[in-house]
Amino acid sequence: MTHDGQAVAVKVQYPGVAEAVEADLRNLGLFAPLVRRIAPGLDVRAVLREIRERIGEELDYELEAQNQRRVWRAWRGHPFAVVPGVFQDLSSRRVLVTELVEGLGFERVRKLPAAQRDRFGAIVARFFFANLAHLRLCLGDPHPGNYLRLPDGRVAFLDFGLVRTIPKDHLEREKSLAGAAIAGDAEGVKRAMAELGYLPDPASFDAELLLAQVRAAAGWMFERGRRRLDPRFVMTVLEEGGSPRSPFFAQMRRQTVPPASLLMRRMEGLLLSVLGDLRAAADWGGIVAEYVLDGDPVDELGRADAQFWSRHGGRSRAAAASA
């Protein structure tokens, strides 16, 4: 509690944690030869550099405070998403002090009736995709412990340590990739993947196989219609989209991941796992299309969100462009 009586939440980094993590990050290079054998096409140096930078930033609570404050400014007054404010004067590199919010944690939300779980899941999905669309911010840690359901049904989002600003041109190309996958445009998928840097040797890849691979890994985000996710579906996606048992594994070994996309792919994978564990239902493809293709809102939440960003989007987009 502050001196003026305001309740706060305090996040403290244990002594020695930063040093231990930094030592582990320095040793990441030891795994490079093994990674190259598993995925010969992967640009290992670039990927490891991206991992070091993102995790290194996550250890800096002053930087996390800046990230959270930026998102808080953009989402103030939103009808269903809440970001606690930051007490910057009380925060430091190892201590983060924010407004205290109280609500139901994920384990209790999982036990709610289906309609409430569905709404919670849709809000969570919208929050992550909206930050990409409006702020160019990829929030890379959609962990179940990072949100609370408030008594009025809104959802509070708590962790802003693993964050990356996506370059505007790169994000537009990622949107083009998603748009081509949604449209079933195999040549468009191949062209976008080549421009983004996924394909070290574009001529050696078959466009139809690339489209099939993308749809296997991310079809839940592209296919329209209401779908109830569950853990079995999540496992199927993970196996078909990335495991050695995948029919696309041979071609994936020859691909790489552009550093600017690495956190986006992590976000999508963890978000799918959370929604599956929640057994939430929504028109996920329609929700994604709202933010990727500027599609029409598919539900009441979408209409409320669109109205909010139409009023505040200019301010938020300007802040993103200047960041």
pLDDT top residue among 25 and 288: 288
Is residue 194 a contact partner of residue 246, using CB atoms and an 8 Å limit?
Answer: no
Residue 115 has pLDDT above 80, yes or no: yes
Residues in the chain, total: 323
What pLDDT, on a 0 to 100 scale, did the predictor assign at position 194? 97
Is the per-residue pLDDT at 15 higher than 70?
A: no
Q: pLDDT tens-digit profile of 151-172?
A: 999 999 998 988 999 999 999 9
pLDDT at 188 over 90: yes
Mean pLDDT of the chain: 86
Specify the pLDDT at position 1: 66
Cα three-residue angle 234-116-10, rounded to 5 degrees:
85
Q: Which residues on neighbouring strands pair with residue 147, listed in sequence order?
A: 157
Strands 81-82 and 155-157: parallel
CA distance linking residue 25 with residue 39, whole number of Å: 20
DSSP 131: I
pLDDT value for 312: 81
Separation CA 189–CA 198 (nearest Å): 11
- Could you tell me if 177 and 192 are in contact, meaning their C-beta atoms sit under 8 angstroms apart? yes
Q: Say what the pTM is.
A: 0.87
pLDDT of residue 204: 95
C-alpha span between 72 and 316 (Å, rounded): 11
Gyration radius (Cα) of the chain, Å: 20
- Of 143 and 281, which is predicted with more confidence? 281
Distance CA 280, CA 264 (A): 21
Give the mean model confidence (pLDDT) for residues 100-113.
Answer: 96
By DSSP bridging, strand 281-282 and strand 147-149 are unpaired
pLDDT for 12 equals 83
Q: How confident is the model at residue 56 (pLDDT cuts 50, 70, 90)?
A: low
Task: State the Cα–Cα distance between residues 123 and 129, nearest whole angstrom.
Answer: 10
pLDDT at residue number 48: 65
Give bridge partners of residue 156 from the DSSP assignment: 82, 148
The dihedrals phi and psi of 95, each to the nearest 5 degrees, come to -135, 130
For residues 171, 66, 162 and 222, what is the CA-based torsion angle, rounded to 10 degrees?
-30
- Phi, psi for 140 (deg, rounded to 5): -90, 10
Q: Tell whether the model's pLDDT for residue 178 goes beyond 90.
A: yes
Tell whether the torsion through CA atoms of 55, 56, 58 and 59 is positive or negative.
positive
Q: Give me the pLDDT at residue 60, please.
A: 78
